[in-house]
Structure 1
């Protein structure tokens, strides 16, 4: 931000209805110059729109994948090399996008930075994300690339027989594009990223936005390797057991191993660690505390999306200034709500329902 832009923003903060002519008179410059400065402030994210609405200091930026998930479910036993009667379900996915939607449900203004193709799936992603309250104005829109799509075939028991992932568009999330969004990112309260985007872009983000707490979801064992060499640049990490082993090089077979792994990450520079242990709960650690939180009592309907809800719960808790155990509790309650609904994103996710869930469990 230039000094002149700072002067204009200060005056607008004191009087959001001030006219451009009044600003020009106060600063002793031409009205046309004021208009240029205001346009630049809007591009940089300091002003949200008409009426000089100042940006929300608490917005989160999510950088990562947005998918269209297509799933086929046969009515009866699946027969190979044949056409099987059944149902086909379309749903939005992508770790970064899922976290963004969960954050919106928790009342947090969220901007999504994700590559999206100019096709029918891209239009559906845009429409549904906007309906969910996600700010999509900073996404990368590409005419010559199909939207990220995941096609899966399941058997009569709901187990996957096979899948095809068409996600080449994620490789287009370049350093140059992220550089264009630096003003939005730098003014975020928190930045959350997934490892679907290229390794060099992840390194650029981690090394150039150190003033913003960066939360990372490793996504998978293979994709976690992208960040292994610079894991200490992230503020908060949320790996599962296998991802934690991959990132640390330490095998986890006991509570002592969990302590060793967390100490490894802390020594590297990570501030907060949440290791998902599936049916055994979540292990959390920072420089002051370590602990194991058992899984919450949950009627599991769908395991997809629990980790994304957990991350959203942790981010909300961190923004509220809660200590580690409470962050883990709220994250686990959000994950429990996700597990108890057939959709990847539980439409009933909210802070009120998280609080209600914890009260029911006397936590």
Structure 2
């Protein structure tokens, strides 16, 4: 699309009833030039016909959890069963919400389907979504159930040592509720599901919503088991080593084992497997190519948001038709940006900054 076509399309979005003469006056060009540009936009698929019926922008949908995160950082070596001096911060969280926010920072239109309470935490989540441009119009808002809360204790290296979650509100996401979201989910370029959602709802979506690709965030080893018998319905999965072992029944101790586990998932119907190996890096396989990419050495300020940034970047890569190797490297760089930031979401994540991080860390 040319710059002039982009200007024309933006004017039409603002006022679908605008005339060609008004478009010409606004842009300082002739009406005949406007007609030529409109013809080109119709040919390219941005305008679907008379009356300026516009093509709906591609977007990603996310079905997952929203939390208020409370995170404790010790200033010295963490001592268990004792009071530790440090800092305590509150931040918006939840796997689905974190992935959705990262996608928005990467410039991907995103719709989040979740549940929040009509309380101070829920209002803060909705207000923040509105501020950054995250669409939460399809999220369930309840006035008698509190917004999910997650408490994490980190050690002196930034790794999580213990966590407690209060997430009962997500059980209010029912099959009856999700049935009404079929058009939103199937209309998306891809849909990311995190396993905080009730198992019966996930199964219903996978069995009945067919016109999109599903990405899986396993969340934890216990919650990953919700989809063990449905793993083949996902296009892309990103388990860690323990989750991959539980889901495949294959012990992973070597690169040969990684390949064997990935083959298991591919044989079930998965199209792309990204095995997260922590400090060792990422192993990927799509049935044609496979590779282990070592992790660059990085400083960790907070490890809680790295996986969310990685999966958001995988979705970004798919959204922009990256090949599997480019997707893996881009996603690793996004995770590094999250690791380097003290809070769960690094607001500086963007296409430009992730690519800059790729160059700085040798991931290009």
Band the TM-score falls in, shorter-chain normalisation: 0.7 to 0.9
Q: CA deviation at 1:299?
A: 2.3
Q: Give the secondary structure class of the aligned counterpart of 1:101.
A: helix
The alignment's C-alpha RMSD in Å is 2.7
Q: Report the number of matched residues.
A: 319
Q: Give the secondary structure class of the aligned counterpart of 2:191.
A: strand
Residue 88 to residue 283, structure 1, CA distance change in 2 (3 Å): same
Q: CA deviation at 1:129?
A: 2.1
Question: Which aligned pairs between 1:64-103 and structure 2 lie closer than 5 A?
Answer: 64-72=64-72, 87-103=87-103
Q: CA deviation at 1:130?
A: 1.9
Where in structure 1 are there 5+ consecutive unaligned residues?
1-11, 20-50
Residue 280 to residue 162, structure 1, CA distance change in 2 (3 Å): closer
Residue 90 to residue 16, structure 1, CA distance change in 2 (3 Å): same
Q: CA deviation at 1:269?
A: 0.3
Question: Which aligned pairs between 1:1-363 and structure 2 lie closer than 5 A?
Answer: 16-17=16-17, 54=54, 56-72=56-72, 87-152=87-152, 163-362=163-362, 363=364
**Are the aligned partners of 1:57 and 1:189 in contact in 2 as well (CA < 8 Å)?**
no
Q: CA deviation at 1:125?
A: 1.1
Residue 317 to residue 18, structure 1, CA distance change in 2 (3 Å): same
**Are the aligned partners of 2:160 and 2:303 in contact in 1 as well (CA < 8 Å)?**
no
Q: CA deviation at 1:69?
A: 1.0
**Partner Cα distance (2:355, 2:159) in 1:** 33
* 2:28 equivalent in structure 1: none
Q: CA deviation at 1:54?
A: 4.6
Post-superposition CA distance 1:147-178 (Å, at most 9, x none): 00113456788776754321100111111111
Post-superposition CA distance 1:312-361 (Å, at most 9, x none): 11111111111111110111111111111111111110100111122234
**Are the aligned partners of 1:296 and 1:332 in contact in 2 as well (CA < 8 Å)?**
no
Q: Give the secondary structure class of the aligned counterpart of 1:58.
A: coil
**Are the aligned partners of 2:231 and 2:265 in contact in 1 as well (CA < 8 Å)?**
yes
Post-superposition CA distance 1:49-89 (Å, at most 9, x none): xx99856432000110000012345778879798x876431
Q: CA deviation at 1:244?
A: 0.5
Q: Give the secondary structure class of the aligned counterpart of 1:164.
A: strand
Residue 361 to residue 171, structure 1, CA distance change in 2 (3 Å): same
Residue 228 to residue 108, structure 1, CA distance change in 2 (3 Å): same
Residue 105 to residue 81, structure 1, CA distance change in 2 (3 Å): closer
**Partner Cα distance (1:295, 1:348) in 2:** 21
**Partner Cα distance (2:62, 2:361) in 1:** 31
Residue 351 to residue 94, structure 1, CA distance change in 2 (3 Å): same
**Are the aligned partners of 2:158 and 2:300 in contact in 1 as well (CA < 8 Å)?**
no
**Partner Cα distance (1:265, 1:108) in 2:** 28
**Are the aligned partners of 1:148 and 1:167 in contact in 2 as well (CA < 8 Å)?**
yes
Post-superposition CA distance 1:78-106 (Å, at most 9, x none): 79798x87643110111100000000010
Q: Give the secondary structure class of the aligned counterpart of 1:103.
A: helix
Residue 261 to residue 86, structure 1, CA distance change in 2 (3 Å): closer
TM-score by length of 1: 0.81
Post-superposition CA distance 1:258-298 (Å, at most 9, x none): 11111110110000110100011000011211111111342
